[in-house]
Chain A
Amino acid sequence: MKTRYTFGGDEHIYVEIDEEMSLDAFFKSLSMSNAVREAEIEGITEICPANASFQVKFNPDVIHPDDLLARIKTLEEKAIQAEKRLNTRIIEIPVYYQDPWTHETLMRFRERHQDPTGSDLEYAARINGFDSVDDFITAHHSQPWFVSMVGFVSGLPFLYQLVEREKQLEVPKYLRPRTDTPKLTVGYGGCFSCIYSVRGAGGYQMFGITPMPIYDPEQKVTYLQDFMVLFRPGDIVKWRPIDRAEYDDICQQVEDGTYIPKMANVEFDLDTFNQDIAKTNARLMEALNGA
């Protein structure tokens, strides 16, 4: 990993921790952005952690870009020494794979896809070497995921799977982005899964849909009454496949205000994880199933 510092115009400093994605790069970017926040440097207006980078927005009338850059560089050492341990949550997200709504949408935008003859899941399964779509879906939901970035639009999480590099699923984005994606679509691009928080444009492959809102500007959804956005970087997610009947049932519960997402508080230690991935994930699942 080689840290690269650069300016985004006169109001942003962009710090790329690594060109490639890894949990190490994510943890370092999170630690560094936390260190910048804790330093309470006057003039900073936004701190945005991302997958393997972070960005600071500042007011150059208050602090000169060069001075701020020098301050941020001094925090890199502190971030390297920081414990790679997070007190976080594991949240279960029900997913209705191969649902009719994303299917209708992917058929509508077929000419923008690498494989106009199949579905997004059939394409993803094939290029990742799976014999069947079902096997691919199993690989997608059997191990937990890490929220490595929140953004793009309102509260959309990017998720990175907690498995060995060689088990990571990779798919390209659409050749040309769609102008429409159903709200709460579970998507995939590069090595990241995502949940589209709102309806709109998108370039990720579409695998399914969740009945569980993750963004509510009106804050009517019971579990979004404290804040309109569900996810924070560092959250852990476990997909759970559901069928149409359960999808409809959960939608109704959300509507009635009786739906309670399954979640548990967990500690995640990067070194422990790297030493034994299977055991770490089993412990995460134990915590979730005990919730």
Chain B
Amino acid sequence: MALNIINPGLSTSIQDLGRPGYFHLGIPIGGAMDRFSMRVANMLVGNSEEAAGLEAVFMGPEIEFTNDTAIAITGADIPVMIDGVEQPTWTALAVSKGQKLSFGFLKAGARLYIAIAGGITTPEALGSRSTYPIGALGGFEGRNIAAGDTLPTGTGGNVNIGATVAPAMRRMPSNPAILRMVKGLYWHRLTEASGAQFLNDEWKVAPEADRMGYRFRGGKALEFVDREQPFGAGSDPSNIVDGCYSYGSIQVPGGTEPIVLHRDAVSGGGYFTLGAIISADMDFIGQLQPHTPVKFEAVSMDAALSARKERHKLLDTIRAELS
């Protein structure tokens, strides 16, 4: 049982829910950028939510199935075809041996997720199948998938073909997107006026946006509180003595273009960070296309925890409906 990759798309990788526990060695958690969509795709095909599937960016892959099985596509809004016939997304689909999965042009969002009954069963590396290409870890031989690859899959269980998730429960960012953040880390390095300006400005997703981090531009350059730079930090006011980075932390090298670190984050470095995106909104970043307008909204810790609970509740509701 396997998937034959005819065309990999632009950048398609095997992902699951990641490999926690090695960030202290510079190996990031990785896993699906939009974990909500990955989890739901797995639920639809009766997998454990930790099962490995595919994450594709902007363009879908073309895949041939070597056995009768079930699949589900979630995440970005993109036409899904089986043997050229359009199929619904966020729905459990039956596919037969020899059939081909392909995709049309992306309509909204940035990343689509493909789950297959039984999951992809490439070898685990440090407890996860997630692809971390920089470290040549996990995935298919440590890299993204390529034409001609054959990805092994496991044995699926019972799948309720046709089961679907209502559009209202498909959690996607708004446009303009609002990314909620908790102020902190090195926020105090900014002048009060500059901090307010940062939150007031409209930013746009830059083309340099990937699994490591999303860059934004369009807002005003930041102003720093004057200080003599501490020993070992480096001379730029945006420099600090190299420290750990939080997932979702917002660094602004040179004070010009914010970068939000994502699932394949570098674990540390010498740039100040002004806070971090709340955990509930991390999925949204994975669905932002370049040039999407974005505003950063500062919220309290209580609001961050409520948003996190709300996301959990939505997943619980979907779980209950699909079980």
Contact = CB atoms under 8 A, between A and B. Distances in A.
Interface string B229-252: 011111110011111101111000
Interface in A36-75: 45-55, 57, 60-61, 64-66
Interface string B289-317: 00000000000010011001000100000
A192 interface: yes
A118 interface: no
A153 B241 CA distance: 17
A241 interface: no
A151 B267 contact: yes
B277 interface: yes
Most chain A CB atoms below 10 A, which of B25, B305, B308: B25
A9 B275 contact: yes
B182 A46 contact: no
Given A9-B278, A191-B231, A192-B232, A215 B135 contact: yes
B322 interface: no
B282 to A, nearest CB: 9
A152 B246 contact: no
Contacts of B269: 152
Interface stretch (B16-24, B42-50, B82-90, B108-116): B16-24
Contacts of A22: 231
B234 A154 contact: no
A190 B232 contact: yes
A155 B26 contact: yes
Interface residues of B, number: 51
Contact of B244 (A21, A54, A172): A54
A12 B26 contact: no
Contact of A8 (B132, B142, B276, B312): B276
Given A19-B241, A192-B242, A48 B268 contact: yes
B232 A50 contact: no
Nearest to B20: A45
B244 A53 contact: yes
Contacts of B270: 173, 189-190
A7 interface: yes
B160 interface: no
A218 B230 CA distance: 40
Interface string B243-269: 110111100000000000000001111
B121 interface: no
B230 A21 contact: yes
B235 A9 contact: no
Nearest to B141: A218
A200 B212 CA distance: 13
A92 interface: no
Given A10-B278, A52-B241, A198 B135 contact: yes
Most chain B CB atoms below 10 A, which of A22, A47, A153: A153
A215 B301 CA distance: 38
A20 interface: yes
B242 A190 contact: yes
A47 B142 contact: no
B243 A10 contact: no
Contacts of B239: 173, 190
Contact of B25 (A53, A60, A155, A218): A155
A99 interface: no
Interface residues of A, number: 57
Contacts of A151: 23-26, 244, 266-268
Interface in A187-240: 189-192, 197-198, 200, 215, 217-218, 229
B134 interface: yes
Contacts of A215: 135
A60 B185 contact: no
B230 A152 contact: no
Given A151-B24, A154-B25, A8 B279 contact: no
B182 A16 contact: no
B161 interface: no
Contacts of B199: none
A149 interface: yes
A7 B301 contact: yes
A106 interface: no
Contacts of B243: 14, 16, 50-53, 55
Interface string A118-140: 00000000000000000000000
Interface string B213-238: 00000000000000000111111100
**What are the nearest 4 A-B pairs in CB distance?**
A8-B246, A21-B232, A9-B276, A20-B230
Given A46-B20, A151-B244, 20 more contacts: A9-B182, A10-B279, A10-B301, A20-B230, A21-B233, A46-B21, A47-B24, A54-B244, A61-B308, A64-B305, A152-B268, A154-B132, A155-B26, A165-B231, A172-B236, A189-B270, A190-B239, A192-B232, A198-B135, A217-B137
11 contacts: A9-B249, A9-B275, A10-B182, A11-B246, A20-B241, A21-B232, A51-B232, A155-B27, A158-B242, A165-B231, A200-B134
Interface of B: 20-21, 23-27, 125, 132, 134-137, 142, 181-182, 184-185, 230-236, 239-244, 246-249, 266-270, 273, 275-279, 301, 304-305, 308, 312
Interface of A: 6-12, 14, 16, 18-22, 45-55, 57, 60-61, 64-66, 149-156, 158, 160, 165, 168, 170, 172-173, 189-192, 197-198, 200, 215, 217-218, 229
